[in-house]
A = this chain, B = another copy of it.
Amino acid sequence: MVIVMRSEATGADVEAIVSVVRTAGVEAFVSRGVQRTIVGLVGDVTQLDATSLRGMAGVRDVMRVSTPYKLVSRENHPERSTVHVGGVPIGPDTVTLIAGPCAVETHEQTLAAARMAQSAGAVLLRGGAYKPRTSPYAFQGLGEKGLRILADVREETGMPIVTEVVDARDVATVAAYADMLQVGTRNMQNFALLQEVGAAGRPVMLKRGMTATIEEWLMAAEYIAQRGNLDIVLCERGVRTYETATRNTLDVSAVPVAQRLSHLPVIIDPSHSGGRRDLVLPLTRAAIAVGADGVIIDVHPRPEQALCDGPQALVDADLGELAQIMTDFPALLGKAPATV
């Protein structure tokens, strides 16, 4: 059950609701969005009287959860949302270019990559300090040291930071540095992590699981939303198929489908889906053309030395064309490149 508060509802109104609900043995999660506050209920709600709740001060609506996701659904929220990351919008009116190194290795490399990203029009910096790696013998990231490098580079470039968190116990640390928390494809159904980032007070980028259906993806987003955080951006990054010429198969259809089902912004990662540098620009064009609200791209000053996913990083020679795509394509969709 979900209680939607009126925009003019006060903090006291919300507290009164929560108190009533908890008395009935039901857990309540308060979600304070820009437009409205939502109280999500988990537990045995059969003892709650929807009619009485609807009569309480500040309550606009009480909805039984019939569809498998509610807070992220477009059904009750027909207008598509815009999520702001350090002031940068991701939403229906813009195409936001996010770029940076796959993994943070050194300050010098991260700064160089950030400058590359900016020269192509990027307004948010991506970079991993915690890397989920299939093999325990692969480079796992610099951890908090990497976060500090990212914060320094933000200082120098003015670019807000998007970075991954892989462990529920690290959420507070990562949130202390990052402007946006990324949940990776392998963690899309790590429900403990989803709940923790839902409570962290930062926008979240939720990558689609590499074989998740769109419905499962939206239910994973609902886990985050239920903890009070509606600032969620969905990121399609390719699904697993039998094809071996590409690492994964980018599912561009997922963008219009998810945008129709959910009010959340949807972006595309053309770097990880193909896993090949020569596919990044064609897939970026396709991403914007299909209606994505942004793209997130790997760039690296020296990809041959990268500790992670070098073969898919764009290099200096690619940036002019990327900038041109950002100039040409968004306008055809009635969108503008996002700016700081």
Known: A169-B168, A242-B242. A68 touches B135 (CB 8 A): yes
**Residues in chain B near residue A328, CB distance under 8 A:** 332
Q: Closest CB-CB distance, A70 to chain B, in whole Å?
A: 8
Select which of B133, B135, B255, B289 is within 8 A of A288 by beta carbon. B289
In the assembly, how many copies of this chain are there?
A: 4
In the bound complex, do residue A249 and residue B251 qualify as a contact, i.e. CB atoms below 8 Å apart? yes
Complex Cα–Cα for A256 and B285 (A): 12
In the bound complex, do residue A242 and residue B132 qualify as a contact, i.e. CB atoms below 8 Å apart? no
**Quick one: CB contact mask for A245-262 with B, threshold 8 Å, 1 for yes?**
110011111111100100
In the bound complex, do residue B252 and residue A243 qualify as a contact, i.e. CB atoms below 8 Å apart? no
In the bound complex, do residue B241 and residue A253 qualify as a contact, i.e. CB atoms below 8 Å apart? no
In the bound complex, do residue A136 and residue B239 qualify as a contact, i.e. CB atoms below 8 Å apart? no
Quick check: which of A5-13, A118-126, A275-283 contacts chain B, the rest being far away? A275-283
Contact size class for A? 35 or more
**Residues in chain B near residue A239, CB distance under 8 A:** 241, 243, 249
**Residues in chain B near residue A246, CB distance under 8 A:** 253, 257
**Quick one: CB contact mask for A273-314 with B, threshold 8 Å, 1 for yes?**
110001100110111111100000000000000000000000
Complex Cα–Cα for A167 and B187 (A): 12
A244 CB-CB contact with B under 8 Å: yes
**Quick one: CB contact mask for A175-197 with B, threshold 8 Å, 1 for yes?**
00000000000110111110000
Known: A279-B256, A285-B289. A166 touches B137 (CB 8 A): no
Select which of B186, B219, B222, B245 is within 8 A of A214 by beta carbon. B245
Q: Jot down 9 A-B pairs with beta carbons below 8 A, ordered by A.
A: A132-B191, A168-B168, A187-B189, A213-B245, A245-B253, A253-B279, A257-B279, A285-B291, A289-B329
